[in-house]
Amino acid sequence: MNKLNHIAFIMDGNGRWGKKKNKGRNFGHIKGVETVKKIVKSCISLKIPILTFFVFSSENWKRPKTEIVFLFKLIKNYFSKEIDKVINQGIKINILGDITKLSPDLKKILNKSVKLTKKNKMIIVNLAINYGSKDEILSASNKVKGKINIKSFEKNLYTKNMPNPDILIRTGGHQRLSNFMLWQLAYTELFFIKKLWPDFNSVDLKRIIKKFFKTKRNFGAL
Ligand code: IPE
Ligand code: IPE
Ligand code: MG
Mutate to test the pocket of ligand 1, among 12, 34, 174, 199 (most ligand atoms within 8 A of CB): 12
pLDDT score of 184 = 98
Comparing C-alpha atoms, which of 188, 136, 153 is closest to residue 167?
188
* Residue 32 CA, closest ligand 1 atom number: 3
The predicted model scores a pTM of: 0.98
Specify whether 84 is catalytic.
no
Which of the 8 DSSP states describes residue 60?
Answer: G
Interval 98-117: pLDDT, tens: 999 999 999 999 999 999 99
Comparing C-alpha atoms, which of 173, 129, 131, 167 is closest to residue 12?
173
Apex CA 93: angle with CA 88 and CA 98, to 5°? 155
Interval 22-76: pLDDT, tens: 999 999 999 999 999 999 999 999 999 999 999 999 999 999 999 999 999 999 9
Q: List the catalytic residue out of 2, 5, 60, 179.
A: 60
The reply to whether ligand 1 has any atom less than 6 angstroms from the CB of 171 is no
**Residue 4 and residue 6: Cα distance in Å, rounded?**
6
Kindly report the number of other CB atoms within 10 A of residue 164's CB atom.
Answer: 19
pLDDT at 176 over 90: yes
Specify whether 60 is catalytic.
yes
Mean pLDDT of 136-140: 98
* Residue 55 CA, closest ligand 2 atom number: 6
Domains defined along the chain, listed by start? 6-132+166-179+189-214 (3.40.1180.10)
In the three-class reduction of DSSP (H, G, I as helix; E, B as strand; rest coil), residue 129 is classed as strand
Kindly report the number of other CB atoms within 10 A of residue 125's CB atom.
Answer: 22
